[in-house]
A = this chain, B = another copy of it.
Amino acid sequence: MARDAEDTKRRLLDAAADEFAQRGIAGARVDRIAAAANANKALIYSYFGNKEDLFDAVFNALVVDTVHDVPIDASDLPGYAGRLFDRNLSRPQALRLAIWHSLERGGAAALPEAVTVANQGKVEAIAEAQERGEVSRTFPAGELMVLITGLSIMGSSELAMTYPSDVTERRRTVTEAVRILTQGDKS
Contact = CB atoms under 8 A, between A and B. Distances in A.
17 contacts: A27-B27, A100-B103, A102-B159, A102-B160, A103-B103, A115-B161, A119-B161, A139-B176, A143-B169, A145-B163, A146-B154, A146-B162, A146-B163, A147-B151, A149-B161, A150-B150, A150-B154
Interface in A86-117: 95-96, 98-103, 106-108, 115
A173 B142 CA distance: 10
A160 B153 CA distance: 11
A23 interface: yes
A162 B123 CA distance: 12
Chain A, interface residues (CB within 8 Å), range: 35 or more
Given A23-B26, A159-B102, A163-B119, A143 B173 contact: yes
Interface in A1-46: 23-24, 26-27
Copies in the complex: 2
